[in-house]
Amino acid sequence: MFSSTRCAFLNNAGLGGCGSICEGARKRSSPMTVVCMTPSSSRSVDRNSSVVMETPLKELKKDSAVADVDGDSVSAGGPQDVYGEDRATEDQFVTPWSVSVASGYTLLRDPHFNKGLAFSEKERDAHYLRGLLPPTVIPQETQVKKMIRHIRQYQVPLQKYMAMMDLQERNERLFYTLLINHVEELLPVVYTPTVGEACQKYGSIFMRPQGLYISLKEKGKIREVLRNWPEKNIQVVVVTDGERILGLGDLGCQGMGIPVGKLSLYTALGGVRPSACLPITIDVGTNNEELLNDELYIGLKQRRATGQEYAELMHEFMTALKQTYGEKVLIQFEDFANHNAFDLLEKYRSTHLVFNDDIQGTASVVLAGLVAALKLVGGNLADHRFLFLGAGEAGTGIAELIALETSKQTNSPLEEVRKNIWLVDSKGLIVSSRKDSLQHFKKPWAHEHEPVRNLLDAVNQIKPTVLIGTSGQGRTFTKEVIEAMASNNEKPIILSLSNPTSQSECTAEEAYKWSQGRAIFASGSPFPPVEYEGKVFAPGQANNAYIFPGFGLGLIMSGTIRVHDDLLLAASEALASQVSQENYDKGLIYPPFTNIRKISAHIAAKVAAKAYELGLATRLPQPKDLVKFAESCMYTPSYRSYR
């Protein structure tokens, strides 16, 4: 091996290139590759052909092995980009660095660097690709056209999902370019609602690992398991234990589709580099009898661990994440059951950078929709009465954020503004006479009122102006319920938020038809436009994808160390501000996804600004223009030209 002190493998622009020693060692007659590293380094070799620095960056700088690389700068929304790959403009050349310079068949099998038929004639010569590809050269734009035609030929959504996942494993940059360019069409494919079916059938469609699996078998050695992941500079971890996947229940280890899908959106919509993202599934067993008896089930075939055994595994996991990836790694909880979701968030929010998308992300995106809806119905939050069907993590999370924003706007005590917010669970309206039997997260919503058993009676007695469904129970907003809302309000706000589509409390068509076209409607899963009495209504989608990619980017680019409720309010206000008059004219309370990366940049800027204001940001000094800074931090999946 050659010492990196003798091989200047970056040029003055911070781009890949090898010095004379490496060049001399590589003969044109052979596709041999040469590794430039320091033998004495203690860092492990990356096992997934990712870029590896075998000597710490500071030491390399001392020896002038790296030029013009700022170790303190943010690079493309991800970790330090020491090879200048994403710092380069698209017309600059980079070298496809792997453990060594990637070439030949290996290069074509590396999804991070593979460009398929887009390799130029010079690149095919330089990297020993002659004969390994057909002779034609096709640019990325044409590849995108080809792939979207390929995806569209499938009629079954799960087949489209599998085709997208296969592309991600073959050609990472093409996958993200395709997803960004056709985000409205492909978002339901890579995430809700299709990801729900993918999780249900994950055992039969599983082809290769897409994330990290940590089970009870790894208890006591979770740090060692984390070291097995090939990327070392992780900034976002999305983790699930699979107990409450969307509205589908306990899917155990097969819940991996959720973290994988979420992190795809972190990159496509929020610009966080793929190498900085880590999907994890915690496998503590499953109580799903069908899975336990399925020979194709990929997880532990045992009942779920609970109590101390579960708590100890999660504590070791959280401690190991912080020890391995540092204080500022963002840990996003996904689809944990209520009893664990609230406990984990409360336990670790003061010691880790944690965010529960089901509780906080859903709350933020729904609050944004409500703030926008006020432009259509008038008044402010304090003038409205809210009724929820569903009092789990989503329902109570939304209710609490509405109360926080209302309290902030009116300078009223939180306990006072909560009285305008009512929740219905499986046993009826949550009232004070039930307080002793309620779970702790429901108790703040137990108001003075006589018991009410069903939703229709609650609507008639409470007379809400806003009806929100987070029950996970399909078709529970019946015709009678919608008609009651319409009789009490000129423009009833109806949010049917449960996922996937089959679990939605009502369809868009039902909401518009039963309210005589007067409802302001949004849902968790997408619905097509609805025509009613000659007018076309475009239903909005209260999708968490509006919030969490930009929210996460804002935390990363500011170096925020803790999530504060005010950051969620800032994200909501930023999203609501992106709804244009043109959107309002169509009855929309959310902007279209076509501009989602710009929306994410604005959300990131507002979140970062609030973090700096609260003293939670550590990346100093604060950039002057946070929107431009957010845009500059975003990963762009356009192909790079290789040497």
| C-alpha span between 330 and 560 (Å, rounded) | 9
Does residue 400 share a domain with residue 526?
A: yes
Residue 15 located in a structural domain:
no
Which residues have a catalytic role annotated? 191, 262
- pLDDT of res. 352: 97
Q: What is the CATH number of the domain that holds 434?
A: 3.40.50.720
Does residue 461 share a domain with residue 568?
A: no
Out of 305, 335, 356, pick the residue that ends a domain. 356
Domain that holds residue 533: 361-542
Residue 68 located in a structural domain:
no
Does residue 365 share a domain with residue 352?
A: no
Does residue 311 share a domain with residue 381?
A: no
Residue 388 located in a structural domain:
yes
- Our CA dihedral for 242, 247, 248, 253, rounded to 10 degrees, sits at -10
- pLDDT of res. 206: 82
Does residue 236 share a domain with residue 158?
A: no
- pLDDT of res. 500: 85
Residue 294 located in a structural domain:
yes
Residue 582 located in a structural domain:
yes
Q: What is the CATH number of the domain that holds 572?
A: 3.40.50.10380
Does residue 499 share a domain with residue 596?
A: no
- pLDDT of res. 228: 96
Does residue 245 share a domain with residue 178?
A: no
E strand or H helix that includes residue 568: helix 565-576
Binding-site residues for (S)-malate: 244, 499, 543
Binding-site residues: 244, 334-335, 358, 499, 543
| C-alpha span between 404 and 414 (Å, rounded) | 7
Q: How many CA atoms lie within 13 A of 479 on its CB side?
A: 3
Number of structural domains in the chain: 4
Q: How big is the CA angle at 444 (ends 439 and 447), to the nearest 5 degrees?
A: 110
Does residue 365 share a domain with residue 348?
A: no
Does residue 429 share a domain with residue 337?
A: no
Q: What is the CATH number of the domain that holds 147?
A: 1.20.1370.30
Report, as ranges of residue numbers, the positions in the chain whose pLDDT lies below 70.
1-90, 98-100
Does residue 310 share a domain with residue 212?
A: yes
Does residue 534 share a domain with residue 558?
A: no
Out of 152, 182, 212, pick the residue that ends a domain. 182
- pLDDT of res. 87: 61
Cross-sheet strand order for the sheet of 428-429: 428-429, 421-425, 386-389, 466-469, 493-496, 520-523, 540-541
Does residue 607 share a domain with residue 523?
A: no
Out of 518, 542, 566, pick the residue that ends a domain. 542
Binding-site residues for a divalent metal cation: 334-335, 358
Residue 374 located in a structural domain:
yes
